[in-house]
Amino acid sequence: MSGGDDVDGLFLELVELSPDEREAALAARRAEQPALVAEVEALLDADAVAEGFLEPVDVGLADAPVRTWLEGRTVGQYRIERVIGLGGMSTVYLAWQRAPRRQVALKLLRAGFDADALRRRFVQEAEILGQLRHPGIAEVYEAATYDSELGPLPYFAMELIPGARSITAWAEQDRIDRDERVRMMVAVCRAVQHAHDHGVVHRDLKPSNILVGDDGRAKLIDFGVARLLDASGRGATVGTRVGELVGTLQYMSPEQLDGDNRRVDARTDVYALGLVLYELVAGRLPYAVPEATAALVAARVRAFDPPAPTALRGPRARALDAVVLTALAKDPAARHATAAALADELERALRGEGVQSIRSQRARNLRRLASRSQRLLPAALATGGLVAAAAAWRLRVRDDSDHGSASAPSPSAGEYLHHIARAERAVASGDLAQAKQALGACAPAQRRWEWHRMLAQLDGSAQVMALGSAVRRIALDRTHTRLFAITEDGRVHGWRRRSGDEVGFDAQWRVDTGDDLGALAIDTAGARVFAGGDQRVVHAVGFDGDGERTMAQGASTIFGLAYADARAELVVTRQDGSLERWDPERGTRSFAVDTGLRLGAPVVQGETVLAVASPGAVRLALDDGHVLRSWSDPQGPEVALSVGDALYTAGWQRHVLAHERDGDARRWPEQGDGIVDLVAIDDVRIAAAGRDGRVTIWDRGDASIVRTLVGHDFAVEALAGPIDARWLVSGSADGTLRLWDLEAPDIDRVWPVDDKIHALAFTPDGRGLVVGAGPHWGRDENDAVMVFDTLRGDIVARSDDHRATVDAVAISPDGRTIATAARDGEIALRDADGLAARVRIAAHVDGVTAVVFSPHGDRLASVAPDGVVATWRVDDGSAISRTDAGIGPLTDARWDDAHVVAVGKRGMVRCDAACTATSAPDASEVTALARLDDDTWVIGTQTGSIAAIDRDGRTRWQASAFGRTVTDVAVAPGGDRIAVASLDAKIRLHDSATGELVLTVGAHDTRATTVAFSPDGRTIASGGFDRRVRLWHAPTASADDAR
Amino acid sequence: MGPELDDAAVPVDRAPPGVATAAWSSLYAELHGLAHALMRRERDDHTLQATALVNEAWLRVGDEASWTSRGEFLAAAARAMRCILVDHARTRGRIKRNEGRATEPLDDLAIADAYGEAVDLLALDAALDRLARRNELAARIVELRFFAGMAHDEIAAVCHTPLRTVERTFRLARATLFRYLREPST
């Protein structure tokens, strides 16, 4: 470039001007300095195009294009412009054909992939495509070989699809509505059928092989792994050996995953079309497949029944669901026989006609579920085995990769830790289903704190009831002692509440109605349950599952049921718009009217019925069915809830609409994928069932979420409760009911304090947490001792009377005395109640690093940077002994009977009147000490390792703690786990028998300084320089686990 | 954490002017460990912005050395990130593709080029050096923005330059680098 500075300077002057102003400035110079002006203009052009260039870099990017050596070259009669796509063994370029002059897509085998087999496959693809002529398949113009310096490379020129996007990208980016997506897929199915008619199975159908161009048409590409069928319809092996897998794991059918190529045929393509349909309709794939090994993917695909796609997004469309799920049948024989059949069914579903797929779908489900549910229900009902059962229901086949057998979980510790590690990774990457499966694989006897912790992260429910089929509706009777549900497989389920303080349900029964049920109601006085649906009849069952009979036969599908207690009548609403009242005793109809409205989810309130009716909700008089009031909600809600003066409607458009008294409607913030049920918890709170699997609790005053309940794997369909104003029941498409305690504490809690935390300790009853804080450098404010109430989360006592940072705290075994020590060397002995200092001791010269009570609580030991171990009487603070340990500055100490064991910069000592050094070769620069058992100590070191040392100074084991200084260690009450706080801010959990890392529990924002287990073993508390006390809960863990 | 670094591996000569060797070494080691831990995890749908890495490093070593300001720290971190990423790209050679996910065809290659692609990260590094010989401020601004995610006003503070100058100079730098990368002969 010429005259760098001038160019740059001129650019800087012009860059922020308007085009006219720029032109004016340049015009003058153009004649005199044409080269300069040209340079500046080139830079200005680049500036215009480079918007978005040099955004801050992402570390760890996955895909990226690779510019190749072919750009700008001529291959045959094509001039290559640039790379437009990268495939497994080929690269696709944009190229210009000489004659006829047009742009084409040139697909070349990638240099380096010149193995004969692959080359042959490439050539076959060209031949295959050359035979197919269909508007839905990209046309091949020519196939030839290019002589490059790397040898002959086959290529073929094919139709370029301008503006090509994968069919899923097209649908999302252009916000295509569901019907149009399905119509596009009908065209794709017809194209696939054309290929089948010519004996070609694609075998690798997925969104990136179905491109939609600017003209809005979809075209199939990449028949690279296509297979030719011979005349008899069975496939000849062409270029693929049995067992060799091709195609993308995520989109592979069960038979492909089995590696058996002989079973791959046209119906394999039907399955793939089903997956793409599923993704287009539901917005996601039915199976999450994080593992790369085919065996694991195969296990999951084989075992998993995906939920109906329209249940996950958009309005329900049962016919479409049936078609898609039929295409996804595990057994090829159960799928549509041809792509054309699939296309026909889709068209019928679009037109609103009946489809053949429904019956086969339900029948398949009913047959399969009979065997599955029976095996699992008893396990599901036992407390403690809940998630395992739920996880097992989701994935019947266990992960085979560990030991190649699908037997019961093996009790080996190594395998347990492997499952834990897998679960940890899955939780981190958000794959909850995988995490649950990993936890389910752990033998009950093995489960420790980390297992319970992750369980709580995945599932906050108090009880899980596995039903084996997607739940449609649930209901509680008015006494809250009976719970009922209807499921997709046509069953009615009932439970009874357990007696006792803890809320829970058992004694389940179920009745198979053989119907497609959608409505549920309860008559508490008469102890009867009513269910109805497609068969147009009401099934009545007693509270104990007995006395089943039918009644209320009508002309049209039952949409909703509700019971009017005051009148002892059953209210029935139907698809044809009729509203009926029936006397369940006599089985006669007392009233019927055609309201002209399709009323859903009816609720009886006094003498009125509240129901959703497109487009909104209505309240009708129970007497004669006339409309008293109506509300509008354009989203066509699924539920309407009346609380006080307000009415709330919600549906698949993700927000709740709050209808105020004065007629205004307020939109709540959007949540998840849509809301299908609402329940009032109290005057203030409403619970919402989310399609994303979460139950959200809202404050209806300010429309904010106060709590989220996590645990279901799929859309939550129904809610019931609250019981005792505190418990909620939810039912989900994942086939489970879950019970929630709304007052259960969060599993993570964070309490901010004024300054950096240096020490903390639990009181013996576990209820209090004593915290010592203060600045790390100088400054004389904010040194404090605080006592938190762990239940309420607030500070119940505080003392600021130390004159320097509080570095150490300890509590006597009887819980009545608290010792605190500060950086000026002073120790204070305080009453646990109120923290009043009884005695103050000027103990050490330049600080105190640890204080510890003796086992009887009558003596206190202190150690300090001055290298001294001192002991004191607790009652009056008088000195008992004072010994120079002889190993330099001391960092921590513990009692061992009548002796004090202390650690510091140069190792470990054991003291009474005098100190004897414990010669542990690895115990140098020790920063923390804890007692593991009668004979063993755990230490943490400056270099970031932890070790177990026995009383003779021998190292039992040593483990790395990841390279940063260990600041504190704590042993779990059960003795099986060690919590480690580190300079790298993390809190980690290690196995006490081997030192192995088990779980990274969590992290502070900066250096963590102190960690402790609660006496019941359920909580780990930690503190750090980020001025936070953090509590990590595992609510179901117990100190008894290890014993 | 990542592979242990010995003193020789820390490119002391690449520290930005005015930064003490000890501070630079400590920061470099920290970022190195973080970046490697991240890249080894290979979570393909979960990338991390360099800005987040730098922030994490700030929390860990920010109060150890005597950085006069967070801006000074960020400038050093940007330089360190650049060294680390370029070294990584060099040793890695080709970008690894994920299994199981086909590449979408690209619409505009030019912009996509600049992101993390092995060849072009090295090309960008070379282009940045070339730009630095021409206009040191321009190269510095790009480094701070691209590798540490600094906003223009933060950059202005660190470089003791008016905000508007930073904005315009950034556009100059961007346009120049853009041309260097697309037409290496210019």
Q: Hey, what amino acid is at A628?
A: L
Question: What ipTM did this prediction achieve?
Answer: 0.79
- Please give the CATH number for the structural domain made up of A748-1033: 2.130.10.10
| Per-residue confidence (pLDDT) for residue A226, from 0 to 100 | 54
| Contact residues, chain B, for A56 at CB < 8 Å | 49-51, 145-149
Closest listed residue to residue A761, CA positions, set A823, A809, A815, A814 = A809
How far apart are the C-alpha atoms of B55 and B47, rounded to whole Å? Answer: 15
| Contact residues, chain A, for B116 at CB < 8 Å | 57-58, 61, 64
Q: Do β-strands A907-911 and A899-904 pair in parallel, antiparallel, or remain unpaired?
A: antiparallel
Read off the pLDDT band of A266 (50, 70, 90).
confident
What does the pLDDT look like over A523-572, one tens digit per residue?
Answer: 998 899 999 988 889 999 999 988 889 998 888 889 899 999 999 999 99
The residue of chain B nearest to residue A105, with distances taken between CA atoms, is B105
| Contact residues, chain B, for A289 at CB < 8 Å | 100
Whether residues A53 and B119 touch (CB distance < 8 A) is answered with: no
How far apart are the C-alpha atoms of A472 and A520, rounded to whole Å? Answer: 9
Residue of B42, B103, B182 to mutate, interface with A, max A Cβ within 10 Å: B103
CA distance to partner chain B, nearest, from residue A223 (Å) = 14
Among the partner residues B59, B97, B168, nearest to A16 by beta-carbon distance: B168
CATH topology of domain A165-366: Transferase(Phosphotransferase); domain 1 (1.10.510)
Q: Give the C-alpha distances (Å, rounded to integers) separating B119 from A69, A83, A684.
A: 12, 15, 59
Whether residues A63 and B105 touch (CB distance < 8 A) is answered with: no
How far apart are the C-alpha atoms of A408 and A830, rounded to whole Å? Answer: 54
The residue of chain B nearest to residue A63, with distances taken between CA atoms, is B97
| Contact residues, chain B, for A87 at CB < 8 Å | 102-103
Q: What is the number of other CB atoms lying within 10 angstroms of the CB of residue A303?
A: 17
The residue of chain B nearest to residue A1007, with distances taken between CA atoms, is B60
Are residues A85 and A108 in contact, defined by beta-carbon separation less than 8 angstroms?
A: no
How far apart are the C-alpha atoms of A481 and B30, rounded to whole Å? Answer: 58
Which member of A8, A114, A116, A204 is catalytic?
A204
How far apart are the C-alpha atoms of B112 and A52, rounded to whole Å? Answer: 10
Q: Domain A464-741 is of which CATH architecture?
A: 7 Propeller (2.130)
| Contact residues, chain A, for B134 at CB < 8 Å | 4, 8
How far apart are the C-alpha atoms of A433 and A425, rounded to whole Å? Answer: 12
Q: Give the C-alpha distances (Å, rounded to integers) separating A389 from A95, A392, A447, A465.
A: 57, 5, 15, 9
CA distance to partner chain B, nearest, from residue A6 (Å) = 12
| Per-residue confidence (pLDDT) for residue A892, from 0 to 100 | 95
Q: Residue B102, class by beta-carbon neighbours within 10 Å (0-12 exposed, 13-18 middle, 19+ buried)?
A: buried
Whether residues A56 and B135 touch (CB distance < 8 A) is answered with: no
Whether residues B179 and A15 touch (CB distance < 8 A) is answered with: no
For the ranges A58-67, A349-358, A1010-1019, the maximum mean pLDDT occurs at A1010-1019
| Per-residue confidence (pLDDT) for residue A145, from 0 to 100 | 80
Q: What is the number of other CB atoms lying within 10 angstroms of the CB of residue A28?
A: 10
**String of DSSP letters for A463-500:** EEEE-SS-EEEEEE-TTS-EEEEEETTSEEEEEEEPSS
Residue of A16, A59, A202 to mutate, interface with B, max B Cβ within 10 Å: A59
Q: Is A1017 left (phi over 0), alpha (psi -120 to 50) or beta?
A: left
| Contact residues, chain B, for A44 at CB < 8 Å | 175
| Helix or strand run (H / E) with residue A593 | strand A588-594
Are residues A577 and A598 in contact, defined by beta-carbon separation less than 8 angstroms?
A: yes
Read off the pLDDT band of A764 (50, 70, 90).
very high
Are residues A618 and A626 in contact, defined by beta-carbon separation less than 8 angstroms?
A: no
Whether residues B117 and A56 touch (CB distance < 8 A) is answered with: no
| Per-residue confidence (pLDDT) for residue A227, from 0 to 100 | 52
The pair of three-digit structure tokens given for residue A61, joined into one six-digit string: 């990017």
Cα distance between the two ends of chain A: 78
Q: Where are the domains of chain A?
A: 4-49, 74-159, 165-366, 384-459, 464-741, 748-1033
A61 has a pLDDT exceeding 60: no
| Contact residues, chain A, for B169 at CB < 8 Å | 12
A1021 has a pLDDT exceeding 90: yes
Q: Where are the domains of chain B?
A: 16-99+107-182
What does the pLDDT look like over A70-88, one tens digit per residue?
Answer: 667 788 889 888 777 765 5
**String of DSSP letters for A777-807:** SS--S--EEEEEETTTTEEEEEE---SS-EE
Q: A965-995 burial, b if ≥16 CB within 10 A, otherwise e?
A: bbbbbbbbbbbbbbbbbbbbbbbbbbbbeeb
Whether residues A56 and B149 touch (CB distance < 8 A) is answered with: yes
Among the partner residues B103, B168, B179, nearest to A15 by beta-carbon distance: B168
| Per-residue confidence (pLDDT) for residue A167, from 0 to 100 | 93
Whether residues B50 and A56 touch (CB distance < 8 A) is answered with: yes
Residue of A14, A53, A173 to mutate, interface with B, max B Cβ within 10 Å: A53
CA distance to partner chain A, nearest, from residue B12 (Å) = 22
Q: How many CA atoms lie within 13 A of A968 on its CB side?
A: 27
What does the pLDDT look like over B115-167, one tens digit per residue?
Answer: 223 335 677 888 899 999 889 899 999 988 888 777 788 788 888 889 889 99
Q: Per-residue pLDDT averaged across A232-251, rounded?
A: 39
Residue of A8, A12, A57, A960 to mutate, interface with B, max B Cβ within 10 Å: A57
Read off the pLDDT band of B45 (50, 70, 90).
very low
Q: Per-residue pLDDT averaged across A865-891, rounded?
A: 90
| Contact residues, chain A, for B115 at CB < 8 Å | 57-58, 61, 64
| More confident call, A519 vs A1036 | A519
Read off the pLDDT band of A1011 (50, 70, 90).
very high
Q: Is A475 left (phi over 0), alpha (psi -120 to 50) or beta?
A: beta
CA distance to partner chain A, nearest, from residue B106 (Å) = 5
Q: A74-159, which class in CATH? A: alpha beta
Q: What is the number of other CB atoms lying within 10 angstroms of the CB of residue A703?
A: 15
**Is A512 among the catalytic positions?**
no
Whether residues B60 and A211 touch (CB distance < 8 A) is answered with: no
| Contact residues, chain B, for A1006 at CB < 8 Å | 59-60, 63
**Residue A294: φ, ψ to 5°:** -60, -35
CA distance to partner chain A, nearest, from residue B174 (Å) = 7
| More confident call, A826 vs B69 | A826
The residue of chain A nearest to residue B171, with distances taken between CA atoms, is A47
Whether residues B100 and A12 touch (CB distance < 8 A) is answered with: no
Q: What is the percentage of chain A residues whose pLDDT exceeds 90? A: 32
What does the pLDDT look like over A374-397, one tens digit per residue?
Answer: 322 222 222 222 333 333 333 222
CA distance to partner chain B, nearest, from residue A922 (Å) = 20
| Per-residue confidence (pLDDT) for residue A2, from 0 to 100 | 44
A235 has a pLDDT exceeding 50: no
Whether residues A166 and B104 touch (CB distance < 8 A) is answered with: yes
Least confident interval from A764-773, A916-925, A944-953, A975-984: A916-925
Whether residues B119 and A67 touch (CB distance < 8 A) is answered with: yes
Whether residues A43 and B172 touch (CB distance < 8 A) is answered with: yes
Q: Residue B186, class by beta-carbon neighbours within 10 Å (0-12 exposed, 13-18 middle, 19+ buried)?
A: exposed
What does the pLDDT look like over A391-418, one tens digit per residue?
Answer: 333 322 223 233 333 334 445 777 788 8
| More confident call, A468 vs B139 | B139
**String of DSSP letters for A129-170:** HHH---TTBPPEEEEEEEEETTEEEEEEEEE--TT-EEHHHH
Q: Per-residue pLDDT averaged across A1024-1034, rounded?
A: 92
A627 has a pLDDT exceeding 70: yes
Supply the mean pLDDT for chain B. Answer: 69
| Per-residue confidence (pLDDT) for residue A583, from 0 to 100 | 92
| Per-residue confidence (pLDDT) for residue A191, from 0 to 100 | 94
CA distance to partner chain A, nearest, from residue B49 (Å) = 4
| Per-residue confidence (pLDDT) for residue A217, from 0 to 100 | 92
Supply the mean pLDDT for chain A. Answer: 81
| Per-residue confidence (pLDDT) for residue A657, from 0 to 100 | 82
Whether residues B174 and A8 touch (CB distance < 8 A) is answered with: no
A853 has a pLDDT exceeding 90: yes
Residue of B5, B6, B36, B59 to mutate, interface with A, max A Cβ within 10 Å: B59
Whether residues B179 and A83 touch (CB distance < 8 A) is answered with: no
How far apart are the C-alpha atoms of A658 and A762, rounded to whole Å? Answer: 46
How far apart are the C-alpha atoms of A767 and A769, rounded to whole Å? Answer: 7
Q: Work out how many CB contacts closer than 8 A connect A with B.
A: 183
Whether residues B120 and A43 touch (CB distance < 8 A) is answered with: no
Read off the pLDDT band of B65 (50, 70, 90).
low
Assess whether the previous peptide bond of A669 is cis (omega < 30° from 0). Answer: no
Whether residues A50 and B174 touch (CB distance < 8 A) is answered with: yes
Task: Specify which residues A580 forms β-bridges with.
Answer: A572, A592
| Contact residues, chain B, for A10 at CB < 8 Å | none
Among the partner residues A49, A59, A165, nearest to B35 by beta-carbon distance: A59
Task: Tell me chain B's radius of gyration from C-alpha atoms.
Answer: 17
| Per-residue confidence (pLDDT) for residue A685, from 0 to 100 | 94
What does the pLDDT look like over A693-728, one tens digit per residue?
Answer: 889 999 988 888 889 898 887 889 999 989 988 999
